[in-house]
């Protein structure tokens, strides 16, 4: 009986052994550190990178890299071979990666392995999540569930880290199968697998990339490490060759010995903007016996663009209309810079309509048109109802086209100033003003019925300078375009002012007349290339050719300067550039080791004297820390705007930028009479002779006025000293700055002549100079890596109040002083359009103090509301 039981037990045991041993033998093989024999993995992926650039295959290869994904992407992969030993994980799969909020990303993968070569057939669903931290690092985790095979029903987890260590090094580390899953209830668990890869770019770009790595499984001896390597070389844009390989220990043989297994893969990758792929040839070379080859491929579709191989030529259409603010203007600058180096863009058409920019930024765009032309791009301007300012930009192009039903209004420039003194007297409101500077006329409309002679002379000086430059530029541009025209003729045409399209063509102001729908054949004909496409440039991000490293910060000072945080005002009142926000951003630049230089982009009429001084001191601290500061002036950088610019290393301005206005004023509102008219009476109880110094319910006493004047003189002296210290390299002393100050406004061209500005140029030129000073490398678009500061704050209140459309009507440069032309009235009313231009002008002057909650303040601000029409 016992013998029968013993015999039966032997039979059962032997049967189970025969059934289980094959599975166990497969598990035993998988226990080796060979990553290609992991039974929980998806199909073989050619051109596989675990460090450096990220794509959707990170879901499978390194979930940590998913957090560095620049845009959504889809990867389809597949591999096969007639010999399962060559490609053990033959099969196909798809992977999707999507960046989401809070600097994180999600990934999804679905794949099937057909089996063979020691791997069971199985289907895998994989989900991944990664969190991007610091600037160039990401941690990720992936969960996978398997169907079929010995691991059917198994859940497994991977962890990954990906980090880029500057332009030259990148690191990827993964831990696969963290939970050591079991193939069957009583099977041997699959050991965890550690992989690491260090990628090196010896040239600092993706022209050449070399990576060395290794894999090691828990339980294997350290002499069983699997070394790996890969090499990638970009031949031309859109075409890349690559190779990768590993040496796997077998039996008693170690890596690279005669008994080890060698796996190689050679292939090429081709890209066409958002679409591309790679084809590789896996090669299997065992330590003994015959080897073999297989085939592997991948296809990707990305929201990010990649340099294309043989992209068809096209003409880019760039719409210059309704540019809301200076950041939006910068995006146009960036787009034109990219087109200048895009080999597929053989021309650029600028559609200029409802362009709310001042003459300073118009000249920046003219500079970029000149850059496009210098790079061999043919430039076109398309106009409907252009003003003098619009035409000033259009004339810089090779070809000017106007709509058949349009109208050319090249009627020069003019200025209007509205005075509120009479209205305020009727309302019973009095404004008390103290100021230093005979040209400092910022509040004259509230205390006078006409400008003072000095302020009037300053305005005429500005008009003469800008008008003369516009006339000369138009004459030169049209002569270059094949319409010889004299400056005197341009003046005569401006005196006439308004032209129908045909009249403009006869006068030599335009080259063609066409409706928008006829532009493409017209442009194609000008190139002699029928079928040439006219299209909007692709705004998707372009894959950089280098990993992020040192960069240039661009800090926007857009709007009136106040003491608190940045504020976006509704109803067309413009933006407030808060000193608190600006100082925090400057401190961030000082403490961030990746920021090599700072471009201070100033498009401001000034504002709070205190806030301007605080920002100027922080600019000095930044320079003292060894970081260059380059100022780029937009339409205006005057008074407080110049105050914060003066300590910089280099100051750039355009010829028609408004600058200078070195002076300070203060005022308070006295509404006592108005309250009486309304039947209101206010009693004030105070302890201290001047406790209600800022009260709007009474005027200043003689003593209090003296106190206000003393404060103004102190602030003015601070202003003078700051400018003298910053401009000492130009030979300016405090006494000379006082002579140039007194509230005098200068155009950029005039300011350069007296030493207040260093060079002519716009934001693009200033960024180039900052990169040169800090030795920050340039990218594919010939711009350095940029950090845009401070973070924008587009609040709900502004959106509800029409803030998003306000600047479309008023103009992003309309912050209290602007160069403007006559423009068609907006067709659709907005909350902003319910306010008259005069009301907006008055509120723009008072808004900073109203927001601050004070009825008195000391201001370093542009001295008057100046509109050039």
pLDDT at position 324 = 77
Residue 823 has pLDDT above 70, yes or no: no
Kindly report, residue by residue over 616-630, the tens digit of the pLDDT.
999 999 999 999 999
CA distance 22 to 27: 9
Least confident of 1-5, 287-291, 308-312: 1-5
Residue 281 has pLDDT above 90, yes or no: yes
pLDDT at position 182 = 86
CA distance 385 to 826: 13
Residue 854 has pLDDT above 80, yes or no: no
pLDDT at position 212 = 97
Residue 23 has pLDDT above 50, yes or no: no
Residue 206 contacts by C-beta under 8 Å, 6 or more apart in sequence? 53, 232, 234, 545, 546
Residue 821 has pLDDT above 50, yes or no: no
Residue 163 has pLDDT above 80, yes or no: yes
pLDDT at position 787 = 95
- With 0-12 / 13-18 / 19 or more C-beta atoms within 10 angstroms meaning exposed / middle / buried, residue 710 is exposed
The H-or-E segment that residue 669 falls in is strand 664-670
- The greatest distance separating any two alpha carbons of the chain, rounded to the nearest whole angstrom, comes to 129
Q: How many Å separate Cα 58 from the centre of its chain?
A: 26
Residue 367 has pLDDT above 90, yes or no: yes
Number of CB atoms found within 10 A of residue 102's CB = 6
State the average pLDDT for the chain: 86
Residue 809 has pLDDT above 50, yes or no: no
If pLDDT is split at 50, 70 and 90, which confidence band does 255 have?
confident
pLDDT at position 726 = 95
Residue 39 has pLDDT above 50, yes or no: yes
- Which whole number is the average pLDDT over 101-119? 91
Domains and CATH numbers, the chain: 26-306 (2.40.160.60), 317-411+452-535 (3.90.226.10), 551-868 (3.90.226.10)
CA distance 341 to 36: 43
pLDDT at position 571 = 58
If pLDDT is split at 50, 70 and 90, which confidence band does 25 have?
very low
If pLDDT is split at 50, 70 and 90, which confidence band does 840 have?
low
Percent of the chain surpassing pLDDT 70: 86
CA distance 794 to 568: 7
> How many alpha carbons fall within 13 Å on the CB side of residue 80?
7
3-state SS, residue 105: strand
Kindly report, residue by residue over 40-84, the tens digit of the pLDDT.
999 999 999 999 999 999 999 999 999 999 999 999 999 999 888
Residue 811: closest CA among 348, 391, 324: 324
pLDDT at position 812 = 27
Residue 810 has pLDDT above 90, yes or no: no
Residue 850 contacts by C-beta under 8 Å, 6 or more apart in sequence? none
Kindly report, residue by residue over 730-777, the tens digit of the pLDDT.
999 999 999 999 999 999 999 999 999 999 999 999 999 999 999 999
Kindly report, residue by residue over 474-527, the tens digit of the pLDDT.
999 999 999 999 999 999 999 999 999 999 999 999 999 999 999 999 999 999
CA distance 363 to 105: 41
The H-or-E segment that residue 738 falls in is helix 734-740
Residue 337 has pLDDT above 50, yes or no: yes
Q: Is 299 in contact with 66 (CB distance < 8 Å)?
A: no
If pLDDT is split at 50, 70 and 90, which confidence band does 415 have?
confident
- Which whole number is the average pLDDT over 242-270? 88
pLDDT at position 45 = 97
CA distance 514 to 502: 11
If pLDDT is split at 50, 70 and 90, which confidence band does 221 have?
confident
Residue 73 contacts by C-beta under 8 Å, 6 or more apart in sequence? 55, 56, 96, 97, 300, 301, 302, 303, 304
Percent of the chain surpassing pLDDT 90: 67
DSSP string, 500-537: -HHHHHHTTS-SEE--GGGHHHHHHHHHT-TT-EEEPP
- Which whole number is the average pLDDT over 21-30? 37
pLDDT at position 63 = 98
If pLDDT is split at 50, 70 and 90, which confidence band does 666 have?
confident
Helices (H), 406-506: 421-427, 444-447, 453-480, 487-496, 501-506
- Enter the tokens of residue 301: 């579709």
pLDDT at position 865 = 43
Residue 551 has pLDDT above 90, yes or no: yes
Number of CB atoms found within 10 A of residue 694's CB = 14
Torsion of CA 394, 396, 399, 401, to 10 degrees: 10
To the nearest 10 degrees (0 to 180), the angle between helices 763-774 and 359-374 is 70
Global pTM? Answer: 0.85
pLDDT at position 806 = 27
CA distance 597 to 623: 9
If pLDDT is split at 50, 70 and 90, which confidence band does 574 have?
low
């Amino acid at each position: 009986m016992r013998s029968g039981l013993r015999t039966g037990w032997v039979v059962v045991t032997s049967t189970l052994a025969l059934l289980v041993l094959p599975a166990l033998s497969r598990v035993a093989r998988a226990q080796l550190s060979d990553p290609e024999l992991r039974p929980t993995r998806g199909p073989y992926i050619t051109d596989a990178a675990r460090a450096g650039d990220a794509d959707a295959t990170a879901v499978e290869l390194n979930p940590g890299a998913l957090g560095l994904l620049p845009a959504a992407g889809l990867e389809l992969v597949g591999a096969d071979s007639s010999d399962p030993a060559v490609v053990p994980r033959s099969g196909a799969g798809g992977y999707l990666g999507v960046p989401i909020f809070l600097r994180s990303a999600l990934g999804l993968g679905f794949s099937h392995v057909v089996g063979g070569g020691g791997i069971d057939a199985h289907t895998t669903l994989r989900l991944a999540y990664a969190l991007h931290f610091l600037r160039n690092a990401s941690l990720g985790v992936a969960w996978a569930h398997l169907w079929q095979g010995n691991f059917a029903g198994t859940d497994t987890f991977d962890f990954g880290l990906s980090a880029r260590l500057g332009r030259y090094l990148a690191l990827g580390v993964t831990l696969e199968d963290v939970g050591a899953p079991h193939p069957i209830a009583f099977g041997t668990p699959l050991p965890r697998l550690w992989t690491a890869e260090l990628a090196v770019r010896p040239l600092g770009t993706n022209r050449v990339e070399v990576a060395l790595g290794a894999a090691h499984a828990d339980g294997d001896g350290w002499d069983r490490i699997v070394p790996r390597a890969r090499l990638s070389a970009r031949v031309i844009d859109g075409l890349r060759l690559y190779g990768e390989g590993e040496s796997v220990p077998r039996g008693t043989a170690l890596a690279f010995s005669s008994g080890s297994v060698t796996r190689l893969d050679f292939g090429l990758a081709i890209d066409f903007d958002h679409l591309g792929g790679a084809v590789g040839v896996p090669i299997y070379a065992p330590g003994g016996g015959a080897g073999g080859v297989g085939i592997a491929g991948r296809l990707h579709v990305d929201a990010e663009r990649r340099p294309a191989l043989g992209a068809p030529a096209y003409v880019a259409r760039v719409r210059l209309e309704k540019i809301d603010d200076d950041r939006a203007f910068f995006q146009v600058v960036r787009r034109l810079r990219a087109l200048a180096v895009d080999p597929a863009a053989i021309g650029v058409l600028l559609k200029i309509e409802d362009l709310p920019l001042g003459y300073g930024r118009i000249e920046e765009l003219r500079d970029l048109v000149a850059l496009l032309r210098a790079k061999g791009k043919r430039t076109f301007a398309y106009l409907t109802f252009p003003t003098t300012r619009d035409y000033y930009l259009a004339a810089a192009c090779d070809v000017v086209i106007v709509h058949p039903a349009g109208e050319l209004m090249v009627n020069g420039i003019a200025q209007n100033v509205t005075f509120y003194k009479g209205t305020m007297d009727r309302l019973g409101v009095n404004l008390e003003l103290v100021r230093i500077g005979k040209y400092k006329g910022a509040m004259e409309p509230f205390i006078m019925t006409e400008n003072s002679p000095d302020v009037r002379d300053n305005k005429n000086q500005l008009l003469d300078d800008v008008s003369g430059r516009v006339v000369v530029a138009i004459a030169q541009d049209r002569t270059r375009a094949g319409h010889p025209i004299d400056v005197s003729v341009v003046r005569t045409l401006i005196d006439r002012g308004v032209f129908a399209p045909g009249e403009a063509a006869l006068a030599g102001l335009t080259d063609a007349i066409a409706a928008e729908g006829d532009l493409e054949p017209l442009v194609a004909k000008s190139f002699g290339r029928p079928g040439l496409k006219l299209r909007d440039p692709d705004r998707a991000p372009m894959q950089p050719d280098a990993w992020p490293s040192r960069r240039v910060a661009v800090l926007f000072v857009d709007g009136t300067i106040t003491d608190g945080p940045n504020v976006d005002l509704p109803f067309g009142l413009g933006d407030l550039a808060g000193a608190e926000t600006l100082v925090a951003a400057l401190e961030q630049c000082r403490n961030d080791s990746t920021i090599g230089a700072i471009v201070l982009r100033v498009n401001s009429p000034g504002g709070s004297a205190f806030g301007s001084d605080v920002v100027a001191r922080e600019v000095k601290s930044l320079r003292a820390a060894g970081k260059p500061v380059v100022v780029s002036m937009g339409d205006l950088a005057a008074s407080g705007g110049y105050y914060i610019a003066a300590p910089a290393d280099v100051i750039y301005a355009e010829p028609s930028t408004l600058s200078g206005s070195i002076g300070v004023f203060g005022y308070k509102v006295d509404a006592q009479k108005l309250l009486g008219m309304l039947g209101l009476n206010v009693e004030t109880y105070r302890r201290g002779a001047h406790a209600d110094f800022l009260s709007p319910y009474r005027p200043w006493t003689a003593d209090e006025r003296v106190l206000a004047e003393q404060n103004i003189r102190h602030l003015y002296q601070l202003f003078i000293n700051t400018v003298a210290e910053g401009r000492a390299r130009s030979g300016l002393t405090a006494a000379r700055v006082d002579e140039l100050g007194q509230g005098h406004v200068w155009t950029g061209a005039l300011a350069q002549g007296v030493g207040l500005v260093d060079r002519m140029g716009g934001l693009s030129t200033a960024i180039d100079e900052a990169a040169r000073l800090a030795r920050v490398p340039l990218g594919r678009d010939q711009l350095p890596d940029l950090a845009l500061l401070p973070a924008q704050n587009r609040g709900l209140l502004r959106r509800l109040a029409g803030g998003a459309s306000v600047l479309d009507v008023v103009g992003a440069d309309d912050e209290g002083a602007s160069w403007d032309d006559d423009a068609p009235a907006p067709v659709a009313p907005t909350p902003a359009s319910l306010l008259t231009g005069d009301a907006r002008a008055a509120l723009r002057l008072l808004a900073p103090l109203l927001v601050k909650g004070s009825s008195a303040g000391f201001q370093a601000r542009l001295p008057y509301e100046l509109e050039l029409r």
